Amino acid sequence: MSSDKPLQGKRVAVLVESEYIADEVEVYRSRFPELGAEVHFMANLWGAPEKRMVCDIDSPDTPVSRIHTMLVDRDVSDARADDYDIVIQTANYTSCRLREIPPMGSLGSPEETHKAPAVQFFADAMRNKRIVKGAMCHALWILTPCPELLAGRRVICHTVVLADIHNAGATFVADPGEVVVDDDLVTARSFANMEAYFEAIVQLASSR
């Protein structure tokens, strides 16, 4: 493995939905391949061949021509977490949307909260210590349907999510660096920590 391609041969799965952060997605889209990794963006497609996602809009006055979108054509329900070396849940409200209980539009029940394909995918990744997991800002919401996988884990997150991860049994770490590495799980407080967060994921994955 060359020093300029520390992730050569690695595969990265990125879970995304509408209300993603465009600059975060661009980091994954451009920098992982530069380091030798193959990147797959995926979501719950609910049987459709593809789905167009809309990024977080800073202002309702944003001209339509300036709104970022991305087309996702990989259905997370067809993917296996064990086929990847890095699994990332994108920030902002994507994790909230990805917890939709199937079938889409159903009333659901508390007993079914863990059944969303994206939740199951990330949960499977959590059970595999070989896989490096990344969750920044609001992303840990993807795990709150499976509190047993958060219990005892050392994490940091946006304060919006703090009550939820505390109730799930995680240990909140108010690290001044705002990035926390707990074995195979890397978390960060917000997109403001993107650079340190990305580097932590790369360093951890390249050492495995």
Q: What is the mean pLDDT of residues 83-96?
A: 97
What per-residue confidence (pLDDT) applies to 58?
59
Domain ranges of the chain: 11-206
DSSP string over the chain: --TT-TTTT-EEEEE--TTB-HHHHHHHHHHHHHTT-EEEEEB--TT-S-EEEEBPPS-TT--GGG--EEEE--BGGG--GGG-SEEEE-STTHHHHTTPPTTTT----GGGTT-SHHHHHHHHHHH-TTSEEEEETTGGGGGTTSGGGTTT-EE---HHHHHHHHHTT-EE---TTSEEEETTEEEESSGGGHHHHHHHHHHHHHT-
The confidence band for 60, taking pLDDT boundaries of 50, 70 and 90, is low
Give the domain 11-206 fold. Answer: Rossmann fold (3.40.50)
Selected residue with higher pLDDT from 20 and 105: 20
pLDDT of residue 70: 93
Per-residue pLDDT tens over the stretch 176-204:
999 999 999 999 999 999 999 999 999 99
* pLDDT, mean of residues 30-56: 95
State the average pLDDT over residues 4-16: 96
Higher pLDDT, 24 or 105: 24
Instruction: Note the pLDDT of residue 103.
Output: 86
User: Given pLDDT bands bounded at 50, 70 and 90, which one contains residue 59?
Assistant: low
Q: How confident is the model at residue 141 (pLDDT cuts 50, 70, 90)?
A: very high
